[in-house]
């Protein structure tokens, strides 16, 4: 007699598996068309599965509790009744014919609009953006008169008119600053006109550049966490193996290691998230007669400490001589400022946008400290301040970063690796 499978039936629109709850027939027992053979549960609902022909229950392959996919056998029955469709699906099915492709009815072609011109941080109506883009007008230079300080089309048109009149061009900052929304000043303090500007051209340019960067920085929500970094072990190492290596180099390297370990802090805020940077670039603030410059050291954790030290000296010398290759100043993902040599204990460096952190270093020196036993001791330390862009990271992140920095500084091997 033919052996026919009793498959797990599909009993609801979404069912994919069923679990056998109870066999109502025994192996060897007779079943008739319409008899319930087994109780199955699916989606918490028990359902009886009926035989659709007369036969004998020959073998149970799914014991109570077994979970069987829809269409797979739970048992086999011997029956003389012909299985209506069973063997139809034993042979591989002929592949379905390809449907003739019906060309889609052409819908109205409406292209997606691309907002023209300007950065996303400036509010402007679409037409204003388009006009500005076509006339190469920087929207940041346009005074908005629309609701919610939105630049209207007429505002751009007026800006175009004004630009066509002869006037002093605004100086371009050496360090490109990203656009930030500058908080509107309610009443700007009025500076009486007439006084002479200080410094020569170059100095003034650097001053303006710094001013622009710092004005942009003022719009970034930032905070500083301070920690006295214990440099004891490194102090001893500097007397032995690290002779001649500057504290700056050591601290720059430690900072770089931290930025490498915390990719979030090495990234930039781009409005809807933190964009990662593959490279670490530590900008080192250098005081020059003409002002503050910040050349960038590329991946300072990937060269030996001695090599790093040598490089830093080289760069500092070149800058003091007045050599300033613009390429030297790009690629920064963090800045180190060291005022320790000038007697400063601690300070909070301001961020250089778009960098998310800045490390300020005070003087490295001996200070009194209470040790674990409650005794007064002397510690070689440096007060470090880590300024962080609060859009990128929080206080705890900053704390963890300084913790890591301390860990690097506590283990010269880590630092030298």
Partner 1 sequence: MSEMRTMTYAEAVREAMAIAMEADERVFLMGEDVGIYGGAFGVENDLYERFGTERVRDTTISELGIVGMGVGAALTGMRPIVEIQFSDFTAQAMDQIVNQAAKIHFMVGGQASVPLVIRAPGGSGTGAAAQHSQSLEAWFAHVPGLKVVMPSNATDAGALLLAALEDPNPVIVLEHKLLYKQSFAVPATFPKARLGEGRIEREGSDLTIVATSVEVQRSLEAAEQLAAQGISAEVIDPRTIRPLDTELILSSVEKTGRVLLVQEAVKFGGFMSEVSATITESRAFGALQAPVRRLCGLDTPIPYNPKLERASVPQVDDIVREAAALVREW
Partner 2 sequence: MTVASETTRATAVLTDMWRIRLFEEAVEDLYGRGMMHGTMHLSIGQEAVPVGASLCLEDGDVITCTHRGHGHTIARGADLGRMMAELLGRENGYCKGRGGSMHIADVATGNLGANGIVAGGLPIAAGAALSQKMRGTDRVTLCVHGDGAVGEGAWHEAMVLASMWDLPVVFLCENNQYGMSLPSLAAYRVEKLSDKAAGYGMPGETVDGNDVDAVAAAVGRAVERARAGQGPSFVDAVTYRWRGHSKSDKNLYRSKDEIAEWRDKDPIARYSGQVLEAGVLTAADLDAIQAAVRQEIRDAVVFGTRGAEPTVESMLAGVYAPVDEQGAEDRA
**Segment contacting partner 1 (CB under 8 A): 104-112, 262-270, 318-326, 357-365?**
104-112
- Minimum separation from the CB atom of position 124 to partner 1 (A): 10
Residue 34 near partner 2 by CB under 8 A:
yes
How many angstroms from the chain centroid is the CA of residue 116? 26
In the list partner 1, partner 2, none, the entry touching 13 (Cβ below 5 to 8 angstroms by class) is partner 2
Residue from 92, 103, 184, 195 binding partner 2 (CB under 8 A)? 103
In the three-class reduction of DSSP (H, G, I as helix; E, B as strand; rest coil), residue 138 is classed as coil
Q: If binding is defined by CB under 8 A, does position 376 make contact with partner 2? A: no
* Smaller CB separation from partner 1, 98 or 111: 111
From candidates 63, 97, 108, 198, binder to partner 2 by CB under 8 A: 97
Contact flag: residue 108 with partner 1 (CB under 8 A): yes
Which residues, including other chains, have CB under 8 Å from residue 229's CB and lie 6 or more apart? 381, 382, 383, 384, 402, 405, 406, 409
Q: Report d(CA 332, CA 297) in Å as an integer.
A: 8
Marked catalytic residue, from 54, 299, 390, 397: 390
State which of residues 2, 69, 71, 115 lies at the interface with partner 1 (CB under 8 A): 115
Applying CB under 8 A, does 129 fall inside the site for partner 1? yes
**Shortest Cβ 154–partner 1 spacing (Å):** 8
Binding to partner 1 by residue 104, rule CB under 8 A? no
Residues 1-30 within binding reach of partner 2 (CB under 8 A): 7, 9-13
For residue 182, which of 140, 138, 129, 224 has the smallest C-alpha distance? 140
Two structure tokens written together for 318: 């070149």
Taking residue 134's Cβ as centre, other Cβ atoms within 10 Å add up to 12
Closest by Cα among 298, 305, 167, 161 to 237: 305
Instruction: Write the CB contacts of 19 (distance below 8 Å, at least 6 apart in sequence).
Output: 40, 41, 42, 65, 66, 67, 68
Contact range with partner 2 by CB under 8 A, out of 42-50, 117-125, 164-172, 338-346: 42-50
By the rule CB under 8 A, 126 interacts with partner 1: yes
By the rule CB under 8 A, 127 interacts with partner 1? yes
* Closer CB to partner 1, 159 or 257, in the complex: 159
71 binds, among partner 1, partner 2, none (CB under 5 to 8 A by kind): partner 2
**Is residue 155 annotated as a catalytic residue, yes or no?**
no
CA distance 277 to 264: 9
Query: Minimum Å distance from CB 25 to partner 2?
Result: 15
Stretch that binds partner 1, among 123-131, 179-187, 205-213, 233-241 (CB under 8 A): 123-131
The CB density around residue 260, as the number of other CB atoms within 10 Å, is 16
The SS3 of residue 127 is helix
Q: Which is nearer to partner 1, 155 or 301 (CB)?
A: 155
Which position among 46, 394, 403, 411 bears the catalytic label?
394
Scan for tokens 């007045």, then name that residue: 322
Told to check if 160 binds partner 1 by CB under 8 A, we report no
Q: Is 113 in the site for partner 1 (CB under 8 A)?
A: yes
Distance CA 341, CA 316 (A): 15
For 16-72, the DSSP string reads -EEEEEEE-S-TT-EE-TT-EEEEEEETTEEEEEEPSS-EEEEEE-S-TT-EEETTS
- Residue 39 · residue 21 · CB < 8 Å: yes
Residue number with CB closer to partner 1 (133 or 298): 133
Choose from partner 1, partner 2, none: what does 88 bind? Cβ within 5-8 Å by kind.
partner 2
- For position 41 contacting partner 2 by CB under 8 A, the verdict is no
Q: How far is the CB of 146 from partner 1 (least distance, A)?
A: 6
403 is catalytic: no
Rg, Å, the chain Cα set: 37
Residue 199 binding: pick among partner 2, partner 1, none (C-beta 5-8 Å cut-off by kind) = none
Tokens matching residue 130: 């388009």
**Residue 90 touching partner 2 (CB under 8 A):** no
3-state secondary structure of 230: strand
Q: Which of 404, 400, 411 is nearest to 225 (CA)?
A: 400
Measured distance CA(406)–CA(255) in Å, rounded: 10
Q: For residue 41, which phi and psi values (nearest 5 degrees)? A: -120, 140
Q: Does 396 bind partner 2 (CB under 8 A)?
A: no
Q: Interface with partner 1 by CB under 8 A: which residues?
A: 108, 110-116, 125-130, 146-147, 152-153
The set of catalytic residues is 390, 394
Q: Interface with partner 2 by CB under 8 A: which residues?
A: 7, 9-13, 34, 45-48, 52, 70-71, 82, 84-85, 88-89, 93-94, 96-99, 101-105
């Amino acid at each position: 007699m033919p052996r026919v499978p009793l498959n797990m039936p599909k009993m609801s629109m979404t069912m994919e598996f069923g679990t056998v709850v109870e066999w109502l027939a025994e192996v060897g027992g007779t079943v008739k068309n319409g008899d319930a053979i087994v109780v199955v549960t699916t989606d918490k609902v028990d359902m009886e599965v009926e035989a659709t022909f007369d036969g004998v229950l020959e073998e149970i392959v799914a014991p109570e509790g077994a979970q069987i996919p829809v269409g797979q056998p739970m048992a086999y029955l011997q029956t003389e009744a012909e299985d209506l469709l069973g063997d139809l699906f034993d042979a591989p099915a002929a592949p379905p014919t390809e449907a003739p492709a019906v060309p889609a009815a052409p819908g109205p072609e409406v292209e997606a609009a691309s907002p023209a011109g300007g950065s996303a941080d400036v509010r402007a109506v679409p037409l204003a953006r388009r006009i500005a883009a076509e006339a190469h007008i920087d929207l940041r230079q346009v005074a908005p008169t629309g609701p919610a300080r939105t630049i209207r089309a007429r505002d751009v048109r007026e800006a175009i008119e004004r630009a066509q009149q002869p006037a002093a061009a605004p100086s371009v900052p050496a360090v490109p600053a990203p656009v930030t929304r500058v908080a509107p000043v309610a009443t700007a303090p009025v500076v009486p006109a007439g006084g002479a500007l200080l410094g020569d051209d170059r100095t003034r340019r650097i001053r303006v550049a710094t001013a622009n960067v710092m004005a942009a920085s003022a719009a970034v929500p930032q905070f500083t966490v301070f920690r006295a970094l214990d440099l004891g072990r490194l102090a001893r190492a500097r007397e032995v193996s690290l002779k001649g290596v500057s504290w700056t180099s050591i601290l720059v390297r430690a900072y770089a290691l931290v930025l490498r370990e915390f990719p979030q802090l090495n990234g930039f805020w781009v409005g809807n998230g933190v964009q990662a940077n593959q490279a670490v670039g530590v900008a080192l603030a250098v005081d020059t007669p003409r002002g503050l410059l910040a050349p960038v050291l590329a991946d300072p954790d990937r060269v030996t400490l001695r090599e790093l030290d040598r490089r830093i000296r080289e760069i500092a010398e070149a800058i003091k001589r007045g050599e300033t290759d613009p390429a030297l100043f790009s690629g920064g993902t963090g800045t180190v400022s060291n005022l320790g040599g000038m007697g400063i204990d601690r300070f909070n460096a301001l961020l250089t946008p778009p960098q998310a952190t800045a490390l300020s270093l005070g003087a490295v020196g001996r200070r009194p400290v209470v040790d674990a036993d409650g005794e007064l001791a002397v510690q070689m330390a440096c007060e470090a301040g880590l300024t962080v862009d609060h859009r990128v990271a929080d206080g705890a992140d900053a704390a963890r970063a300084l913790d890591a920095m301390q860990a690097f500084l506590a283990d010269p091997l880590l630092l030298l690796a």
